[in-house]
Amino acid sequence: GAGVSQSPSNKVTEKGKDVELRCDPISGHTALYWYRQSLGQGLEFLIYFQGNSAPDKSGLPSDRFSAERTGGSVSTLTIQRTQQEDSAVYLCASSSRDGSGYTFGSGTRLTVV
Amino acid sequence: GNSVTQMEGPVTLSEEAFLTINCTYTATGYPSLFWYVQYPGEGLQLLLKATKADDKGSNKGFEATYRKETTSFHLEKGSVQVSDSAVYFCALRDGDSSYKLIFGSGTRLLVRP
């Protein structure tokens, strides 16, 4: 597609429920990144994919967070047993293998009530 | 580890005033440096970048020079406009193969007519 597409744009969930956030990268971009933007923590890196592999998962805050990527394209970030501190905007970005064309999506605003 | 420190906001200026937003970094090796901008209700957009020492990035009247001796990448604009009101993020991309970005905490700029 023309840009990085994320869905849903907004998600309200009850504490303890699982949520899935989707990212559709720019066509042909082999690298995909997830970031989190929250009031207390600023903008922080979560995980990086190159193709379907995730060589850097260092930013995932707990084992409740996981992500996968299939077909070298769409990625899903899953948060299990959501907590109020998970409330944030989750941003996805994609780039070419060499890091060029780095582009962010508009994000998913997650609110845990 | 690598980190980015930028001045806290909000920064409030009158239209046509001179803008400086300070950014310093800590990194091993030779990172690339970036300024991103987030306009109200929109996603992150790349404003400018510099990939090596003494490079100057520029765009839309904004400039920043990669200063290795002072580990700084301060953002400047000679005459701000109301439309420049946004949150500005300084970021670095370290030299490893993951291309993840490390962000500062962001500086909110408010320009009054």
Q: Do A33 and B100 touch (CB under 8 A)?
A: yes
Can you tell me the mean pLDDT for A85-100?
A: 92
Distances from the Cα of B21 to the Cαs of A45, B18, B51, B55, B107, in angstroms? Answer: 23, 10, 19, 18, 8
Cα–Cα distance between B45 and B41 in angstroms, integer? 12
Query: Quick check: helix, strand or coil at residue B57?
Result: strand
Whether the predicted pLDDT of B65 surpasses 60 = yes
Give tens-digit pLDDT for B78-94: 999 999 999 999 999 97
User: What is the predicted pLDDT for the residue at A39?
Assistant: 80
> How close does chain B come to A60, measured CA to CA in Å?
13
Q: Do A48 and B102 touch (CB under 8 A)?
A: no
End-to-end CA distance of chain A: 33
Query: Quick check: helix, strand or coil at residue A30?
Result: coil
Give the confidence band of B96 by pLDDT, cuts at 50, 70, 90: low
Percent of chain A with pLDDT strictly greater than 70:
97
Q: With beta carbons less than 8 A apart as the criterion, state whether A111 and A12 touch.
A: yes
> How close does chain B come to A74, measured CA to CA in Å?
18
User: What is the predicted pLDDT for the residue at B28?
Assistant: 83
**Chain B partners within 8 Å of A31 (Cβ):** 99
User: What is the predicted pLDDT for the residue at A7?
Assistant: 97
User: What is the predicted pLDDT for the residue at A79?
Assistant: 98
Query: Is the CB of A102 inside 8 Å of chain B's CB atoms?
Result: yes
Cα–Cα distance between B65 and B58 in angstroms, integer? 9
